[in-house]
Amino acid sequence: MQPTRLKPRFSPPANWQAELFQNNPIFHELQQMFQPASCSDWPTPDWLNSRRSNTDFCFVANELLEQDGRYYEDYIYATQQIPTRAENWHDLFGAFIWCLFPRTKALLNQLHIQEIKRAGLSPRTPLRNKITLLDECGVLIAHTSAQQSMVQQLQQHQWQQVFWQQRSLWWQQIRPVVFGHAIYEMATQPFIGLTAKCWFIEVPDDYFSWPLAKSYAYLDQQLCQQISLRPELLLQKLQLTPLPLLGVPAWCADNCQVAFYQNQDYFRPKRSS
């Protein structure tokens, strides 16, 4: 995958491009789980519903939301239906995330509703802003207890140490898992500047040998539990720290050279307090 240069405004491909799921390594797990590359045209709500393992929710055409008139989060909470716009990358990736993380997505929806009841729809509260940041831009960093030092390096923006000097540990003892559907959308046209937000989850030592479905279910359970028990974690500075996404080993062809990590406009050092 070769990233483009930073654009003044991002826009995803206008047409359905099934080959993205086979050619871009960021999408390889989506391809393994859902096989979207087999679709000759845009997936429909019915197709997405056939890929669910959890039937507590379903995908419906966005026109139902438009006819109903309720706020998006309120509609989902009341109906357990996920409005999905046709021929829309953002909503397609959002649907995949609902399938992969049903517990956490339902919890975030519930927290939105609780905050709206407490403080009103507008202005948005700091907690709702953080929920949205995780929901749109989050990447879960699954790591063993032995790699706590790499977690700290990521939090301290020590990019060359964690991405280059220890790149052999990626996918063996530390692994990124996309949670934010906007990150997937932007990865359809990868660009220098593409940055996610980290959420760190410690996993068992044998996690990296698990089947993909089991590993996603575990992360969903852990993330849901963490936020349910301590929603204030969303407001802590050591969560949702920046992750220059194209620095992840194997996610960008250019990062096979150490010079790639010397671009401080992208791999920015941590600001001093």
What pLDDT is attached to residue 73? 96
More confident: 6 or 87: 87
147-200 tens-digit pLDDT: 999 999 999 999 999 999 999 999 999 999 999 999 999 999 999 999 999 999
Burial call 61-99: b when 16+ CB within 10 Å, e when fewer = bbeebeeeeeeebebbbebebbbbeeeebbbbbbbbbbb
168 to each of 158, 199, 249, how far by Cα in Å?
A: 16, 21, 9
Predicted TM-score (pTM) of the model is 0.95
Could you tell me which residues come within 8 angstroms of residue 29 by beta carbon, excluding any fewer than 6 positions away?
A: 177, 212
104-125 tens-digit pLDDT: 999 999 999 999 999 998 899 9
- In this prediction, residues 218-228 reach a mean pLDDT of 98
